[in-house]
Chain A
C-alpha cells in the first residue's frame, strides 16, 4: 500500500489531482482509491485530498493518517503547523515552490523535491495569474521524484480526465517532470 496526501488551497485543484494521479496508477494495473478530506469547500482555504495505491484490492474505508508522500500545491502551507504529521521518515514531500529543496530542511527528516509549478502552469495558460491551476503540473514532478508511476501514464490520465485544455495540462506535467529539483 502506498498512500499520498495532497495539501492545497480551494481552487488549485488538489482534489482533481488526487483523482488524476489515481487514474495514472490505474493505467499501470494498480488498485486505487482517491478521496477529498470531506467538508464544505471554500476558495483559498486549505484543502486536503488523498490517493491510495495498492497491488491488491483496497478494502480500507478510512482516512490516511501515516502517508508515504506529501504533495504540497501551495508553498505557504509548509508553514502550517502539523503539515508533515504522520509522514513516514525519509519519504518524499513534493512542493510547488521556486525555492530549492534545501530551503525546506526545517520540515524534518524527509526527502524534498521542488518545482515552480505556478510559472509552468501560467506558461501553459492554466488558470489565472492570481490562481494558477497547478494540479496537473505538480503530479508530473511527483512522477520524476518518486519514480512510482511513469510520466506517460500521468500524461494519458491528464488527457482523459481534465475537461478543459487537456493537452496543455499534459505538457505542463511533462515540463514539471523535466524541471523538478531534488
Chain B
C-alpha cells in the first residue's frame, strides 16, 4: 500500500516486515524516530522482537553481536557520533561473520557540533568489513533494508544502510509498503548457520595464526558480494518490480560530462542534466549506491566514453579530499583511460546543494582546462 511517510518511518516498517528478532539501539538525532517507532512496535506486539534498552551505541552493537551469535535476526540504527562510538565493535561484527543489519542516518561529526547530513560518519567506517549502501529515496531505504537481510544472511557479513539525515530521514514522500506475504516470499527466515550452543560450548573469534586467512576469506566474500547483490537486486525486481543496481546511471551512454555522486544529490543532478540536454549539452549522472564492496568495474564502464567526470562529495577526508573522488580515481587507474576527474566538495554539515550549485559545478568542469585541487561549493563569505 502506498503511503506518505518519512524515510525513518520506512526504515521502521522495513524492520517490521523483515521480522527482526532482536533490536538494540540508542537514540540520537536524526535517527531517534526510528528507535521510538520500533520500541513502540515491540511494546504493542506489532513486531515480535526483543527490544533491548542500552546505555550507549557501543552497548547496542555489543547486544546485537551477542544476539546474532545466538542466531537471532538483529537490527540496530544510529548516526554520527553514535556510529563512531560503535567503531571498535563494527570490526568484531564483521570478523565474527555476523549478519547484522544497521541503518545509519548520515550526520556530520563534531566538532563543530552539527545535526545535519554528511556522509563522513559512515565513510570513516568503510574499512570495518561492513557492506555499505547509500540510498536516495524513502522507497529505496525500505527496499534496501529488506534486501540487506538476504545479502547479509547469505554472505555472513554485516550490512550498513545509509540515509542522509533530515534530507531523507525527515522528508515525507510516497513509499509503497508491500504486503507481508510478498516480503515473506522474498525474505524467508534466516538459513541455518554456525551459532553459539550452550549445550555444545565453543569459542568464537579466538587467537589464531590464520588471521590472514580469515581476512583473505572476507576479501573473497566481499568480491562475491558484488555478483550476489546484483542477483538479489534482480530477484527483488521480480517480486516487487523495483531494482537499483550497485550503481545507477542516467543519460550516461553518450554523455561528454558525467556527474558522479551518492545519495540524494543524484536526484537534483538528474534535474539539471535534463536542463543541460535541452541546451544541447550532453550531461549524464552516475550514482554510486554500493560503496563496500566498491563496484569499480560497474563505475568505470559507463565513465569510459566520457570526456570529463565531476565527482560531488558530501564528505571529506582532511588532507586528501572527497572520499568518493579518491575511490573513483583509484578505480579509473585500473583501466588506464586518462579520464580527467574534477573534484567538488559540497553539502557538508547539511548545507543545501541546490540546482544552481550543480549548474555551477557543470560550468566549472566544462570550462576548466585542467583539473585542479578540489573545489568547495557553498562556503559562507
**Chain A residues with a Cβ under 8 A of chain B:** 18-19, 22-23, 26, 31-36, 38-40, 58-63, 65, 161
Contact = CB atoms under 8 A, between A and B. Distances in A.
Nearest to B250: A59
Given A22-B173, A59-B268, 5 more contacts: A19-B6, A35-B167, A38-B115, A58-B173, A63-B352
Interface in B100-128: 115-116
A18 B116 CA distance: 20
B170 interface: yes
Give 10 nearest A-B pairs by CB, closest first: A38-B166, A61-B264, A59-B267, A34-B172, A35-B171, A62-B354, A23-B4, A19-B172, A61-B267, A63-B352
A62 B170 contact: no
A62 B268 contact: yes
Contacts of B171: 33-35
A62 B267 CA distance: 10
B352 A62 contact: yes
B contact residues, range = 20 to 34
B224 to A, nearest CB: 33
A61 B172 contact: no
B256 to A, nearest CB: 22
Nearest to B270: A59
B359 interface: no
A22 B4 contact: yes
Given A60-B267, A60-B268, A33 B115 contact: no
A63 B354 CA distance: 7
Nearest to A34: B172
B265 interface: yes
A97 to B, nearest CB: 27
B172 A35 contact: yes
B164 to A, nearest CB: 9
Contact of B172 (A33, A39, A59, A63): A33
Nearest to A157: B4
Nearest to A31: B174
Contacts of A40: 29, 115
Nearest to B267: A59
Nearest to B174: A26
Contacts of A59: 267-268, 270-271
A33 B2 CA distance: 14
Contacts of A65: 354
Contacts of A19: 4, 6, 172
A161 B116 CA distance: 26
A34 to B, nearest CB: 4
Contacts of A36: 166, 170
B355 interface: yes
A113 to B, nearest CB: 25
A32 B4 contact: yes
A23 B2 CA distance: 11
Most buried by A among B6, B170, B172: B172
A161 to B, nearest CB: 8
Contacts of B170: 35-36, 38
A36 B350 CA distance: 13
Contacts of B136: 61
Nearest to B264: A61
A39 B115 contact: yes
Given A35-B166, A38-B115, A61 B173 contact: no
A1 to B, nearest CB: 10
22 contacts: A19-B4, A19-B172, A22-B4, A22-B172, A26-B174, A33-B171, A34-B4, A34-B171, A34-B173, A35-B166, A36-B166, A38-B30, A38-B116, A38-B170, A38-B350, A59-B267, A59-B270, A60-B271, A61-B267, A61-B268, A61-B353, A65-B354
